């Protein structure tokens, strides 16, 4: 019974957040102490920008669904992940949902890295054993570069704030 309730909450959360933000878009400041984490650091002038969390949760639900129910179709899993990533890249480029330019750039970089990581994974599914070894190192390199750049940005931004 509890797991069914959790499932219902997880599925309804993106819709609930969307409806909440749509209904309260013009009057969010009084709600900030209780609900501010839903829209923190997001542009409030556009409903599309404000609903970044809705898109984020929908992506996670689709990822969980594909992981559980499409376990026997890894090619389809990677293809759906690439489609999600591409749509996220388009969303980030068009709406730039964050109120600080650095957050938009970091999110765009992270999403671009995820999209680039999908290609070697797709080739890994289709490639030979010798190619898979090289593709594995390529994946490791992409991930290490992504982590390194994110750590550098965090340290840089933190050092600027501490001055």
d(CA 156, CA 106): 13
What's the pTM value of the predicted model, to 2 decimals? 0.87
Q: How far is CA 118 from the centre of its chain?
A: 14
Q: So what's the pLDDT on residue 27?
A: 87
pLDDT in tens, the chain (163 residues): 777 888 888 889 999 999 999 898 888 888 888 888 888 888 888 888 888 999 999 999 999 999 999 999 999 999 999 999 999 999 999 999 999 999 999 999 999 999 999 988 888 888 777 788 888 899 999 999 999 999 999 999 999 989 8
**Of 40, 88, 41, the residue nearest 63 (C-alpha):** 88
pLDDT value at residue 157: 92
Q: How far apart are CA 48 and CA 53, in angstroms?
A: 10
């Amino acid at each position: 019974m509890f797991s069914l309730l959790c499932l219902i909450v997880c599925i309804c959360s993106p819709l609930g957040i969307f409806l909440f933000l749509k209904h309260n878009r013009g009057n969010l400041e009084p709600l900030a102490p209780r609900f501010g984490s839903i829209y923190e650091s997001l542009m409030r002038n556009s409903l599309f920008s404000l609903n970044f969390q809705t898109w984020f949760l929908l992506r996670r639900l689709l990822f969980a669904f594909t992981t559980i129910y499409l376990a026997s179709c890894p090619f389809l899993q990677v293809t759906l992940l690439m489609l999600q990533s591409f749509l996220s890249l388009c969303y980030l480029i068009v709406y730039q949902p964050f109120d600080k330019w650095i957050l938009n750039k970091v999110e765009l970089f992270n999403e671009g890295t995820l999209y680039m990581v999908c290609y070697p994974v797709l080739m890994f599914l289709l490639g030979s054993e010798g190619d898979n070894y090289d593709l594995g190192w390529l994946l490791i390199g992409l991930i290490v570069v992504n982590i390194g750049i994110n750590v550098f940005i965090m340290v840089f931004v933190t050092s600027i704030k501490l001055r």
